[in-house]
Amino acid sequence: MSDASRTDRDITVAWRDHRPYLVNLAYQMLGDVGDAEDVAQESFLRLSRTDPAAIDDVRGWLTVVAGRLCLDQLRSARVRLETVLRPEHDIPDGHDPADRVTLDDEVHAALLEVLQKLTPGERVSFVLHDVFAVPFDEIAETVGRPSGTCRQLARRARGKIADAAPHAADVVRTDHRRVTSTFITACANGDVETLASVLDPTVWGVGTVLGDPAPPPQVNHGPEAVAANLMRYLGPGATVVGGPAGEPVLLAFDKGRLFAVVVLTIRDEKVLKIEATADPSARQP
């Protein structure tokens, strides 16, 4: 196999294994799935200019690159609330009874309310450490500040998040992080078998579809049925990321538009229950 072919193969494998993680990581920092996908794309473009076989930890390398790209965006005078909160996400004032707050509005407003309270350094340090368990010495390489300073930044971020949303202030449990990461990657790759592997044998799921009139909730039981149904909606055609502060909540986007929120009940590294709320009108034809 030629060096070029080997590099292409390594990039393809890295894309499959790490892109969902990278999009999720960038989304937690930037609060915009389109920007997060751009960061992931640029990170892999930079990886393609290197020799992946010479990198001991490709995911770690991509994490540093994506973290720096996010930090640059957050520090830029052009990336402010008016950039992240686009016109289509404006929340109706409620004066017109016909107005309704969409699923997209509610989630973006809640996420942005927390994110805007953090400085760029606080946001990056908190997300990398508390959500993705990156050690502070590696975060220091990304942020360009001593590890002790990064630790203080993450601590300050926790305090601000606790003031804004006390339920989101706890450090993400390791089992939750592992399960949601596997869940996201399996959906991105259309891997039903891996998705079913994180589902408890007694798992059941209930889906609520927003509409007028709304159809009755859809209920599925067992790993195979639940995984197959999830893949119909959250498979490779969708972009799935974690919710704010790494809670066991997943957000599904279609062409940059949020169309579903999925809440997981996790115990002993298995998903026991899945509650999904979807807005079909947000999906692009």
Tokens linked to 52: 């992946």
Beta strands at 270-278 and 199-209: parallel, antiparallel or unpaired: parallel
210 in helix, strand or coil? coil
Specify the range with the lowest mean pLDDT, choosing from 83-97, 171-185, 193-207: 83-97
pLDDT tier at 174 (50, 70, 90 boundaries)? low
Nearest partner of 231 among 278, 193, 180, judged by Cα: 193
Q: What is the pLDDT of residue 31?
A: 83
Domains of the chain: 3-168 (1.20.140), 174-282 (3.10.450.50)
Q: Which of 89-98, 171-180, 196-205 has the highest mean pLDDT?
A: 196-205
Q: Which of 165-174, 222-231, 240-249 has maximum average pLDDT?
A: 222-231
Crossing angle (nearest 10°) for helices 3-30 and 33-48: 150
pLDDT band, residue 110 (cuts 50/70/90): low
Positive or negative, the CA dihedral 74, 130, 138, 149 is: positive
Task: Write down the pLDDT at residue 109.
Answer: 56
Length of the chain: 285
What digits encode the pLDDT tens for the residues 146-159? Answer: 999 999 999 998 88
* Exposure b/e, 118-135, CB count within 10 A at least 16 = b: bebbbbbbbbbbbbbebe
Mean pLDDT of the 119-144 span: 88
Say yes or no to pLDDT of 272 above 90: yes
pLDDT tens-digit profile of 81-109? Answer: 444 444 443 333 333 333 333 455 555 55
Instruction: Output the pTM of the full model.
Output: 0.73
Spatial separation of the C-alpha atoms in residues 40 and 103, rounded to whole Å: 25
pLDDT band with cut points at 50, 70 and 90 for residue 136? very high
Instruction: Give the residue-averaged pLDDT of 41-54.
Output: 92
| Residue found under tokens 């959906």 | 187
